[in-house]
Amino acid sequence: MKVYALLMLVLAAMAITGCSDPTIDASSEAKMKESVAKVRESLPEAKRSDFDQAVQLIAFSQVDMKSLFANGGADAGDMEGKMRDALNGKTAEQVLAQAEQIQADRKAREKEQALAEIRELVAKREKAEQAKQQLDKFQVVRSRFTMRERQYLGEQPIIELTVKNGTDRAISRAYFSGTIASPDRSVPWHKDQFNYSIPGGLEPGEEASWTLAPNSYSGWGKVDAPADAVFTVMVEKLDGPDGEVLYSTRDFSERDRNRLTELKKQYDVD
């Protein structure tokens, strides 16, 4: 009776072995091509496209393109061996499962990197917001933009500013953004940045008026705004007595703001 039971167990094991799923033989290029085709054919038609993509994903996951180009292709043989090893002995389901795991790991890494970038951008935004509180103390009391006619030389753009230093630090250079826009138009006529190195600096509480003459060949020289256009100036950065940056909102740009919004939406972060 025991012999009969053992015989049935052996026969069952042989039957299972005989019906096992085909595997990829990557011992040579020819065998790999042939076995991949057989493994592919063992799948239902609907799964074959997924299998093709999975094979490519697993193979290319073993390729370090940066290293490959850096060494002029010297590592190509090693990488080919890694590609074969990654597929060797695997059934179709194992290939699909491994590809799924690679994708999951990749998405996890992407999310981790995105969350790190979000934290970095939030820190930059908070720093810019703190800087703006100080920049607001450096007041633009008056701002005017005009085009002054010059004999034989055409028009010269002129920026007139009156500012007051309400901070508790001496300022050696101030950086601004200027916008020329009409009240009933959503798109400005011109928007650009400019800066001014202050002779002798501007001490706390001091007020000064400047007349600046931007390059007439720059965008300022091409401004053709109507009479109702208003020139608005914002303070974006201030340097201290030794030229060191005291406060700046320029480190958190509009691009950074859009990027932060996009990442938060993509990864559902408040």
Tell me the chain's radius of gyration from C-alpha atoms: 34
Q: What's the pLDDT at 112?
A: 96
Q: Count Cα neighbours of 108 within 13 Å in the Cβ-side half-sphere.
A: 6
Token pair of 202 as six digits: 């501007």
Contact assessment for residue 153 and residue 171, using Cβ atoms and an 8 Å cutoff: no
Q: Would you state the pLDDT for residue 10?
A: 36
pLDDT at residue 180, as a whole number = 98
Report the amino acid identity of residue 132: K
86 near 59, Cβ under 8 Å? yes
Nearest to 86 by CA among 69, 70, 104, 98: 98
Position 14 scores a pLDDT of 38
Round to whole Å and give the CA distance between 23 and 52.
Answer: 15
What does the mean pLDDT of the chain come to? 89
pTM of the model: 0.70
Q: Residue 71's pLDDT is what?
A: 64
b/e 13-46 (16+ beta carbons within 10 angstroms → b):
eeeeeeeeeebbbbeeeeebeebbeebbeebeee
pLDDT for 206-247, tens place per residue? 999 999 999 999 999 999 999 999 999 999 999 999 999 999
Residue numbers in the chain where pLDDT is lower than 50: 1-18
Q: Residue 72 has what pLDDT? A: 58
Read off the pLDDT of residues 171-206 as tens digits, 9 standing for 90 and up.
999 999 999 999 989 999 999 999 999 999 999 999
What residue spans define the domains of the chain? 136-239
Question: How far apart are alpha carbons 222 and 62 in whole angstroms?
Answer: 55
Considering the four listed CATH numbers 1.10.3210, 3.30.160, 2.60.40, 1.10.286, the one that applies to the domain covering 136-239 is 2.60.40
User: Which SS3 state, helix, strand or coil, does residue 205 take?
Assistant: coil
**Strands, E assignment, the chain:** 138-150, 154-165, 171-181, 190-202, 207-212, 230-239, 245-248
